[in-house]
Amino acid sequence: MIEKGVEIAPANGKLGILLVGLGAVSTTFVAGVEAIKRDLSKPIGSLTQMGTIRLGKRTENRVPKIKEFVPLAELEDIVFGAWDIFTDNAFDAAMKAGVLEKDLLNQVSEQLSSLKPMSAVFEQKFVKRLDGENVKTGKNKMELAEQLMAEIADFKQANGCERLVMIWAASTEIFLEPSEVHQTIEAFEKAMYDNDASIAPSMIYAYAAIKSGIPFANGAPNLSVDIPALVKLAEDEAVPICGKDFKTGQTLMKTIIAPGLKARMLGLDGWYSTNILGNRDGEVLDDPESFRTKEESKLSVLEQILQPEVHPDLYGDFSHVVRINYYPPRGDNKEGWDSIDIFGWLGYKMQIKIDFLCRDSILAAPLCLDLALFLDLAQRAKMKGVQEWLSFYFKSPQTARGLYPEHDIFIQLKKLKNTLRYLKGEELITQLGLDHYD
């Protein structure tokens, strides 16, 4: 064991989780936590709750649960807050989202009904398919941020929270390239006063969170906190941030399978992915400008994992197509098909077909829990700025400037666990193991 790890403040008191967007993902997350607290279910899919971590050598048999190894907030200490452009409380929103059965929702109805969304910072230009009435007004974007900060402070006090974290689980905004106003905090703040069109609502929430000293995770592919101005602000304010775009469904499969193909040096001619999805997220993504944001996020994954420039004979010329089709009858129960054209020894061609009947919000909810708990841990360990060790959870992981993101899920998991070992002063695991044969 290394002499000492990093000093981590204890997870005493309540942790407030502030959710931007109270839709399918958020309500499935909140209802799930309440159900698990009542022992109605198990936290399946959550690394913080069910995962273990090996410490030391294989012969030492030290494999604690992650939540016993690092000090994480307890589920009993979590309280929820939310913003949405609709006034539905979490129970009504969950019923509309149609992810969880009525029976289960009824058992946690009291907790869900009491979660009423605060009015949102919203501009329809950024999410064309939605129009809600629960929206803030203000003379400029800075004033809207100030309203959010006041609400955050009130929430903290009213709920007796020691600490807060914020997660963007709201709709995907239209595609934006970072521009001048996103480069420095001075330019960004001036643009907020000037009501500049390039400041999206998701950036205003991120700004309000960071200024309030609250960690921020972005579960959607829109830029939000992934701009130099807000990254710098997070470093200056000592706030951990991470994003973008929860890695669930088809991209999760892609980042599980692609590393395996590459490990065996099998070639790729093409990967065609298509989905049908009928929830509100699917409806928002039916708008080409919102879809573009998602498409960029989904496409980057294979290139990085397969490294065509390093392996031109195997991956120099593959085609990669991603489609999402809005199809209401399926609701949140997405179906994703992948048709993968690969080649092996002597160039002989083979095909892999995947038909994943997945449930988007069921896959995303445990990621919200893990991100909230790990970001809170990061802050108590005085980690600040981009938390690349949380790449495991994202389709487009944020990294330090100039670093390419790591997409291989197995490398991401290793990075995450080694970060936890580092925090606790445990030996990092290299899997070398030669000493067993000395």
Ligand X SMILES: NC(=O)c1ccc[n+]([C@@H]2O[C@H](COP(=O)([O-])OP(=O)(O)OC[C@H]3O[C@@H](n4cnc5c(N)ncnc54)[C@H](O)[C@@H]3O)[C@@H](O)[C@H]2O)c1
Interface with ligand X (CB under 6 A) = 20-26, 83-86, 97, 120-122, 127, 130, 132, 169-172, 201, 219-220, 245-246, 248-249, 279-281, 284, 360-361, 363-364
186 Cβ contact partners less than 8 Å away, ≥ 6 residues apart: none
Minimum CB separation from ligand X for residue 63, in Å? Answer: 30
Identity of the residue, 232 or 292, whose beta carbon is nearer to ligand X in the bound complex: 292
132 Cβ contact partners less than 8 Å away, ≥ 6 residues apart: 84, 85, 86, 120, 122
Are 96 and 283 contacting, i.e. CB atoms less than 8 angstroms apart?
A: no
Residue that is written with structure tokens 């205003």 in the block: 204
Minimum CB separation from ligand X for residue 246, in Å? Answer: 4
Whole-number Å distance between alpha carbons of 30 and 91: 10
Identity of the residue, 280 or 417, whose beta carbon is nearer to ligand X in the bound complex: 280
- The DSSP bridge partners found for residue 357 are 335
Identity of the residue, 145 or 170, whose beta carbon is nearer to ligand X in the bound complex: 170
Whole-number Å distance between alpha carbons of 348 and 251: 26
Burial of 232 (C-beta count, 10 Å sphere; 0-12/13-18/19+): middle
Burial of 139 (C-beta count, 10 Å sphere; 0-12/13-18/19+): exposed
Residue that is written with structure tokens 């809600």 in the block: 132
Are 192 and 217 contacting, i.e. CB atoms less than 8 angstroms apart?
A: no
**What are the structure tokens assigned to 225, written together?**
């906190």
337 Cβ contact partners less than 8 Å away, ≥ 6 residues apart: 273, 274, 275, 353, 354, 355, 356
Q: Which residue is nearest to ligand X (CB)?
A: 23
Q: Which of 171, 162, 176 has its CA nearest to residue 132?
A: 171
Identity of the residue, 121 or 165, whose beta carbon is nearer to ligand X in the bound complex: 121
Mapped onto helix, strand or coil, the DSSP state of residue 300 is helix
Minimum CB separation from ligand X for residue 281, in Å? Answer: 4
Identity of the residue, 89 or 172, whose beta carbon is nearer to ligand X in the bound complex: 172
Identity of the residue, 204 or 257, whose beta carbon is nearer to ligand X in the bound complex: 204
Minimum CB separation from ligand X for residue 85, in Å? Answer: 4
Q: Which of 367, 361, 362 has its CA nearest to residue 49?
A: 367
How many contiguous H segments (helices) and E segments (strands) does the chain have?
Answer: 16, 11
Minimum CB separation from ligand X for residue 84, in Å? Answer: 4
Minimum CB separation from ligand X for residue 170, in Å? Answer: 3
Identity of the residue, 409 or 420, whose beta carbon is nearer to ligand X in the bound complex: 409
Minimum CB separation from ligand X for residue 392, in Å? Answer: 14
Minimum CB separation from ligand X for residue 310, in Å? Answer: 29
Phi and psi dihedrals of 118, rounded to 5? Answer: -75, 160
Identity of the residue, 172 or 419, whose beta carbon is nearer to ligand X in the bound complex: 172
Minimum CB separation from ligand X for residue 343, in Å? Answer: 31
Identity of the residue, 381 or 412, whose beta carbon is nearer to ligand X in the bound complex: 412
Identity of the residue, 172 or 387, whose beta carbon is nearer to ligand X in the bound complex: 172
Cα–Cα distances in angstroms (integers) from residue 303 to residues 298, 323, 339, 358, in the given order: 11, 17, 17, 24
Minimum CB separation from ligand X for residue 29, in Å? Answer: 9
Are 309 and 411 contacting, i.e. CB atoms less than 8 angstroms apart?
A: no
Whole-number Å distance between alpha carbons of 189 and 227: 13
